[in-house]
Amino acid sequence: MSLFNEEIIMKLKSIVIGVAGAALFASAASAGSITAVSWGGAYTKSQVEAYHKPWSAKTGHQVVSEDYGGGLAEIKSQVEAGNVTWDIVDLELSDAVRGCDEGLLEEIDASILPAGSDGTPAADDFIPNTITDCAVGNIVWSTIFAYDFEKMPNGPKTMADFFDLENFPGKRGMRKGPKPNLEMALMADGVPADYVYIVLSTEEGIDRAFAKLDTIKDSVVWWEAGAQPPQLLADGEVAMTTAYNGRIFNAVAAEGKPFTIVWDGQVYDIDLWAIPKGAKNKDLAMEFLAFSTATEQLAAQASWISYGPVRMSSAALVSSYHNQPDLKMAPHMPTDPANFKNAIQNDYAWWADNQDELNERFNAWLAN
């Protein structure tokens, strides 16, 4: 009788373990994973906190983050090779438009986007040009320039000052590429913000921009990743540097760096989520895209970094830096009226048409 009971018990244990194992396997099989590719550093951190973690908590799916330096080269390589390992990518607007035109990105049905928290339909809630055929916007960000006010108490005030080596000596940090250096060069040379792309649409205008860049070329330290400019300033390698506004804000707010942003001549842009053509986890990526561009998620991101949300319904929810209640975010946004007096929006259509040619010219100019 005792042996019989032990056999029964062992069989029951085996059944229970088998059922539990099957349930665990089923759960693991149903939990998916996507690879989200973005710009790294404080920016990716803001996405992880506002998008990735809440989505994983809600759905059980995981988000694996990878960093890149922008552009379409890697997406194009993956798509053409038929081996797409990225599921969703944070792109600049001009790249999103060009990538869609070249068939590198999946089309997105805008009906998957939730209404704003105030009930406004998504199509009316997103600011203009932030929902395209193949991408959906998340932030408004800006390229500015910044300096260390402890090392330069009487610092620069205008874009012209950035190019003035006589009155403001020292190395300059600039993003390695023609965008937005050509725009900034023309504004420093006296071209009003409203006329920059009119001037750049002529061969003489492009020559003028490169000529202005020539005046500081020998003093430039070129950067490629968004985390580099704050580090260049902190290490004293440059006197001032162009940078993404959110990276400088983060260095000040989170690390206590003595940096000042100069908003004059800022070039603001929009970043968007896009899904590479042939992504292996396309459906999950679409779900993540819809979740992360909801009102609450965009507002949450703006509490981690000073980039403006692209939904109008998010604005009322943006308040303070996530761990400093007294640090209000609005004055640090690119679109704050005080920061917006001499700003220019990156012309995505112009760059979509001219980027390849100007990349070649810039690289040739850099090599000479």
Q: Is 6 part of any domain?
A: no
Residues 94 and 182 in one domain: no
Q: Give the per-residue pLDDT at 25.
A: 37
- Residues of the chain with pLDDT > 90: what percent? 88
Residues 75 and 122 in one domain: yes
Q: Give the per-residue pLDDT at 19.
A: 39
Q: Is 15 part of any domain?
A: no
Q: Is 70 part of any domain?
A: yes
Decide if pLDDT at 89 tops 60.
Answer: yes
Q: pLDDT by residue (tens digit) across 304-360?
A: 999 999 999 998 899 999 999 999 999 999 988 899 889 999 999 999 899 999 999
Please give the full DSSP string across 2-37, using - where no structure is assigned: HHHHHHHHHHHHHHHHHHHHHHHHHHHHH--EEEEE
- At 161, the pLDDT band (50, 70, 90 cuts) reads very high
Please give the full DSSP string across 84-116, using - where no structure is assigned: ---SEEEEEHHHHHHHHHTT-B----GGGSPPP
Q: Give the per-residue pLDDT at 130.
A: 94
Lookup result for tokens 């395209």: 132
- At 129, the pLDDT band (50, 70, 90 cuts) reads confident
Q: Is 132 part of any domain?
A: yes
Q: Give me 141's structure tokens.
A: 């960000």
Residues 152 and 254 in one domain: yes
* CATH code, domain carrying 209: 3.40.190.10
Lookup result for tokens 């760096």: 257
pTM for the whole structure: 0.84
Assign 268 to helix, strand or coil: strand
Residues 165 and 203 in one domain: yes
When divided into structural domains, the chain yields a total of: 2
* Contacts for 110 with CB less than 8 Å, ≥ 6 apart: 122, 123, 131, 136
Residues 66 and 186 in one domain: no
Q: Is 3 part of any domain?
A: no
Q: Is 119 part of any domain?
A: yes
Q: Which amino acid is at 59?
A: T
Q: Is 359 part of any domain?
A: yes
Cβ burial of 261 (10 Å; 0-12, 13-18, 19+) is buried
Q: Give the per-residue pLDDT at 13.
A: 42
Decide if pLDDT at 18 tops 70.
Answer: no
Q: Give the per-residue pLDDT at 30.
A: 62
Q: Is 276 part of any domain?
A: yes
Q: pLDDT by residue (tens digit) across 166-206?
A: 999 999 999 999 999 999 999 999 999 999 999 999 999 99
Q: Provide the 8-state DSSP code for 188.
A: H
CB 199 within 8 A of CB 208: yes
In terms of pLDDT, which residue wins out, 48 or 17?
48
Q: Give me 118's structure tokens.
A: 């105030």
Q: Give the per-residue pLDDT at 22.
A: 40
As beta bridge partners, residue 67 has 38
Residues 333 and 229 in one domain: yes
Instruction: Provide mean pLDDT across the span 1-25.
Output: 40
Full residue range of the structural domain in which residue 94 is found: 29-140+271-325
Residues 234 and 182 in one domain: yes
- At 23, the pLDDT band (50, 70, 90 cuts) reads very low
Q: pLDDT by residue (tens digit) across 212-239?
A: 999 999 999 999 999 999 999 999 999 9
Q: Give me 145's structure tokens.
A: 């320039």
Residues 175 and 257 in one domain: yes
**CA 54, CA 314: separation in Å to the nearest integer?**
17
Q: Give me 56's structure tokens.
A: 């994983």
| Residue 211 CA: distances (Å) to CA of 16, 177, 182, 231 | 77, 15, 10, 28
Residues 150 and 161 in one domain: yes
- At 29, the pLDDT band (50, 70, 90 cuts) reads very low
Q: Give me 334's structure tokens.
A: 């690119």
